[in-house]
Amino acid sequence: MNSEHVLITGASSGIGLELAKCFAADKSNLILVARNTAALEKLADELRREHKIEVHIITADLSKPESPQMVFDELKGRGIIVDVLVNNAGFGLHGGFAELPLPHQLEIIQVNIAALVALTGLFLPSMIERKRGGIFNVGSVAGFLPGPNMTVYYASKAFVLSFSEALHEELLNTGVSVTNLCPGPTESNFSQVARSHRVRETRARKMSAASVAKIGHKDFRNKKCLSVTGLQNKILTVVGSKILPRNVARKLSGYYNKLK
* Active-site pick, 153, 154, 255, 256: 153
Pair 186, 16: CB distance under 8 Å: no
For residues 68 and 139, what is the distance between their CA atoms, to the nearest angstrom?
18
d(CA 228, CA 141): 7
CA distances in angstroms from 140 to 88, 118, 176, listed in the order given: 11, 20, 22
Look at the alpha carbons of 239, 240, 243, 247 in this order and tell me if their dihedral is positive or negative. Answer: positive
**Does the annotation count 256 as an active-site position?**
no
DSSP letters, 218-255, are HHHHTT-SEEE-SHHHHHHHHIIIIIS-HHHHHHHHHH
**Cα Rg for the chain, rounded, in angstroms?**
18
Facing residues of 29 across strands? 5
Rounded Cα–Cα distance for residues 158 and 139 (Å): 8
Q: What does the alpha-carbon distance between residue 22 and residue 242 come to, in Å, rounded to a whole number?
A: 32
Catalytic residue numbers?
A: 153
